[in-house]
Amino acid sequence: GAGVSQSPSNKVTEKGKDVELRCDPISGHTALYWYRQSLGQGLEFLIYFQGNSAPDKSGLPSDRFSAERTGGSVSTLTIQRTQQEDSAVYLCASSSERWGTQYFGPGTRLTVL
């Protein structure tokens, strides 16, 4: 596709349930980032994938959060046993180089009831 896509665009779940968020980066982009943004706040880095290297997971807030990137392309962010404080917009971005321009997807708005 022409840009970064994310699915679903909105997700409402009950506290304690697991959710999976998907990101399709721009074809050929080796770098992929996940961020989250709470209402009216800045972006919080979660995890970074670069090629075949081990991901930088230093931004994940707890062990309930995990992410994987299959075949160097599509990435899935999984949140287990969701809590109300996990409610936020989750944004994915990809880049063709380590410090290059990041192209963002439209985000997934997660609401945990």
Which chain residues interact with other proteins by CB under 8 A?
A: 4, 33, 35, 37, 39-45, 48, 50, 56, 58-59, 89, 91, 93, 98-107
Closest CA to 78 of 26, 34, 45, 42: 34
**CB nearer to other proteins: pick between 27 and 99:** 99
**Minimal distance, residue 107 CB to other proteins, in Å:** 5
CB of 63 to other proteins, least distance (A): 18
Between 60 and 112, CB nearer to other proteins: 60
Q: Is the distance from CB of 67 to CB of 59 less than 8 angstroms?
A: no
For residue 92, with 0-12 CB atoms within 10 Å meaning exposed, 13-18 middle and 19 or more buried, which class applies?
buried
If the CB atoms of residues 4 and 77 are measured against other proteins, the closer one turns out to be 4
Q: Least distance from C-beta 14 to other proteins, angstroms?
A: 23
3-state secondary structure of 42: coil
